[in-house]
Structure 1
Amino acid sequence: MSRTSRINRATAETKIQLELNLDGSGTSKIQTGVGFLDHMLTHLAKHGSFDLEVFAEGDLHIDSHHTVEDIGICFGKALSEALGDKKGIRRYGDCTLPMDDVLITSAVDLSGRPFLVWKAAIPNETLGVFHSSLAEEFWRAVSSSGLLNLHVVAHHGSNTHHLIEAIFKSIARSLRTAVELDPRSAGIPSTKGVL
């Protein structure tokens, strides 16, 4: 069974091609025009053990908001598509991850019901052309289009780069667990019989 997806999205603001393999080895080819996002997506692939390719052209002469959000939409759609009917997956994943001064906890439920809880106070700062507020926007888009429940809690930390990077790494680890096939359960992991 191939758990892969290819998403093409074209709007008046962005053009995005994204390929995802849930059963990859953590390789990535990323070119979004937003250097910090490239860095974060590389971490997402590596720590999620996903193969991920993202090529994007966006209206960066305005700012990077549309590009970041639309890539989040595409990643969420690709995740949902690659999971198919979700038979045999673990469904849940969580990770508490330290990075220098930062400690982050994330938890994921691939429930089919989108919801984002974001309790991460990130300093108002721009990293290259990536404004720190876009981290939440990216994951809100992933949650909405990927139909998943996601909680993010920053326990402590003050370095903006470390906070966002630890969030991406923690969520990658949570997703890695949630999408894994469970050898003890071949069916849908819900009493409803559907996710």
Structure 2
Amino acid sequence: MSNSARTERQRLAGLLSAAGPDAPTLCEGWTTRDLAAHLVLRERRADAAPGIRVQALAGWTARVQAGYAQRPYEELVRLFRSGPPRLSPFALPGVDEAANTVEYFVHAEDVRRAVEWQPQDVAPELAQSLWQRLPMLTRLEAGRRTPVRLALRWPGAGSVEFGPRGTDMVELTGEPGELVLFAFGRGARTTLRVDGSPAAVATLAAALPVPRG
């Protein structure tokens, strides 16, 4: 496992362990136990993982996840912390970093920001990795839902623009981690600055969570 994904895995495992099995998360309807079961399923049950994204397979995924959730919580955290088994696709060279850096960062913040929280610095290597992945993430996530043109700006680095052309522009400015969390629907729990006309911001807020003023 390469550095950013490995570091975020250990950070997330530590947050899960400290929170205990019944803590809230930003994943709607999930406690930390549910999140831990999801993480273990994702890299240990290739037969059930597709249902995370494919609605037609979601029923089977939910049943497998419910089975994992019945295991002792400490076992789930230990399995996740130890990394993917040898035959998991996530054990292939490079796959962990490519597939899990964003996943683990977002879920770590799902645990950390579900309760009272304070901003934390993100390591420069991780910030750069999140920034590089942001254009793809906007196409997969927020880009499908935004009713206005968006510009996600990292000061000094540039911006990622997406959304319907010909509509009003809303700019969200901040660090890459905050921008990634917005793209994944966690915008209400970010420190981003939002700039745009009141009407455009209100239109965006009706479709996607934005930072509270």
TM-score normalised over the length of structure 1: 0.28
* Structure holding more helix per residue: 2
* Structure holding more strand per residue: 1
TM-score normalised over the length of structure 2: 0.27
Q: Which has the higher contact order (CA 8 A, sep 6+)?
A: 1
Between Structure 1 and Structure 2, whose CA radius of gyration is higher? 2
